[in-house]
Amino acid sequence: MNFDLTEERQMLQDGLRRYLVQAANPQSRAAAVEAEAAVDPELWGGLAEMGVIGALFTEEQGGFGGAGFDLAVVFEELGRAGAVTPLLEVVLAGGLLAQAGDAHADLLGEVIAGTRALAYAHGEPASRYDLSRVETTARREGDDYVIDGRKAVVVGGAQADMLVLSARTSGERDDAGGISLFAVPADSAGLQWRDYPLADGGRAAELVIDGLRAGSGSLLGAEGGAHDAIEYAQARGTAALCAEALGLMEAARALTADYLRTRKQFGQPIGKFQALQHRMADMLIEIEQARSAVINLCGRLQLSRREREINVSATKQLVGRVARHVTEEAIQMHGGIGMTEEYELAHLARRLTMTDHRLGDSTYHLGRFVALGAVA
């Protein structure tokens, strides 16, 4: 048992933290929003150059990391810096490319180099968080598939070069079997995008798919057998997302503690008031719980499906609940200034709140934890 980072990960953490302090600032964030870009291109190039994208993949896949704790280190730092990037999309869509084997190694290589942007097009307007609800269909026509349907809130979709897109090749609407994955260019004919800004920065799009033709070479893995790969990719995505939330919470805590030490009312720093001290202590305790939950998931991604997924739901439930607690407490303890958009807390608050709307919220995962048989 050892809870220290390895030397390599410690170096990655230190380097990334130093880099992000200067590269991921509110100005570059605002510029990306202004340009309707998914990410500040300079930041993205810098991350790729540092090998941050490669850290998310194993050596076999063309990276130099890929373990749960590599995800944890990278995403916690991104969160701490409040950086807005489509790196989670790389974990999800890139993870699916990597699982599909060598056929897509070239594309993955370009993703790791930062020269090709990926998006993950799986969720649909009616699927909410249900992983197997896929109504988009793909039917065979000669050597091609013809795909029709809709995809919802595709993060970075309109800015991506390539999509990893799910569609049903057989089975009923909610069946786990019969789901297939395709890698298709985002500017293919038959794709219609409606691009919009997100509450937490970055962009997403609604996608209408009308007669998209995808060659059989674009199929990832076996036809109809994508469910387990999607579940595994989302498990890794959940680990990344929760680690990012942890970093965001650490940032919110630091900001709030600083504020309590400097803001004076009734003739003294408000941090001297026990009512606020105890709320701050509870915030800290809950963040440590979230850190442990992230460790639990990152250390168990390689275990059996059941054990892994129990930890996915346990961690996502806890982090979602704690994220809300930390956000609301941070705003409350700041008072009026915590309500203003200009102040950094606003960005952290939006990010943390939206964390609960990706890959399943706290209530969803509480139910899923029970459904997985963890309680019985």
Partner 1 sequence: MNLDFTPEQEAFRAELRAFLEQNLPERLSDKVRSGQRLAKEDYEEWHAILNGRGWLAGNWPKGHGGAGWDAVERHIFEEETTAAGAPRIVPFGLAMLGPVLQKFGSKEQQEHWLPRILDGTDWWCQGYSEPGAGSDLASVKTTAVREGDHYIVNGQKTWTTLGQYADMIFCLVRTSKEGKPQEGISFLLIDMTSPGIEVRPIVLLDGEPEVNEVFFDNVKVPVENLVGEENKGWTYAKYLLTHERTNIAGVGFANAGLENLKRIARLEQSRGRPLIEDPLFAARIAEVEIALMAMATTNLRVVSAAAAGQAPGAESSMLKVKGTVIRQEINALTREAVGPYAMPFAHETLEAGSNAEPVGPDYALPATAQYFNNRKLSIYGGSNEVQRTIIAKTILEL
Binding site for partner 1 (CB under 8 A): 1-6, 9, 69, 257, 260-261, 269, 271-272, 274, 276-278, 280-282, 284-285, 288-293, 295-296, 298-300, 311, 314, 317-318, 366-367, 369-370, 374-376
- For residue 161 the two structure tokens come to 């070069």
Q: Give 62 or 271: the residue with its C-beta nearer to partner 1.
A: 271
Residue type, 298: C
Please state the φ and ψ torsions of residue 174, each to the nearest 5 degrees: -105, 5
Q: Give 76 or 200: the residue with its C-beta nearer to partner 1.
A: 76
We find the least distance from the C-beta atom of residue 21 to partner 1, in angstroms, to be 22
Which H/E stretch holds residue 69? helix 68-80
We find the least distance from the C-beta atom of residue 60 to partner 1, in angstroms, to be 21
- For residue 84 the two structure tokens come to 């807005």
Determine how β-strand 162-168 pairs with β-strand 118-121.
parallel
We find the least distance from the C-beta atom of residue 281 to partner 1, in angstroms, to be 4
Which distant-in-sequence residues (6+ apart) come within 8 Å of 127 by Cβ?
A: 133, 134, 135, 152
Spatial distance between the Cα atoms of 138 and 147, rounded to a whole number of angstroms: 4
We find the least distance from the C-beta atom of residue 238 to partner 1, in angstroms, to be 14
We find the least distance from the C-beta atom of residue 253 to partner 1, in angstroms, to be 8
We find the least distance from the C-beta atom of residue 194 to partner 1, in angstroms, to be 37
Q: Give 340 or 363: the residue with its C-beta nearer to partner 1.
A: 363
Contact 235, 316 (CB under 8 A): no
Q: Give 173 or 261: the residue with its C-beta nearer to partner 1.
A: 261
Contact 295, 239 (CB under 8 A): no
Spatial distance between the Cα atoms of 318 and 374, rounded to a whole number of angstroms: 15
Kindly tell me the sign of the dihedral angle through the C-alpha atoms of 243, 249, 253, 259. positive
Burial class (CB in 10 A: 0-12, 13-18, 19+), 281: exposed
Q: Give 93 or 270: the residue with its C-beta nearer to partner 1.
A: 270
We find the least distance from the C-beta atom of residue 84 to partner 1, in angstroms, to be 27
Q: Give 76 or 124: the residue with its C-beta nearer to partner 1.
A: 76
For the CA atoms of the chain, what is the radius of gyration?
Answer: 21
Kindly tell me the sign of the dihedral angle through the C-alpha atoms of 287, 289, 291, 293. negative
- Cα→Cα distances 6→11, 70, 73, Å: 9, 10, 11
We find the least distance from the C-beta atom of residue 69 to partner 1, in angstroms, to be 5
Q: Give 27 or 275: the residue with its C-beta nearer to partner 1.
A: 275
Q: Give 13 or 170: the residue with its C-beta nearer to partner 1.
A: 13
We find the least distance from the C-beta atom of residue 222 to partner 1, in angstroms, to be 33
Per-position DSSP letters for 175-225, written without gaps between them: -STTEEEEEEETT-TTEEEEEEE-TTSSEEEEEEEEEEEEEGGGEESSTTB
Q: Give 75 or 145: the residue with its C-beta nearer to partner 1.
A: 75
Instruction: Reduce the DSSP state of residue 291 to 3 states and report it.
Output: helix
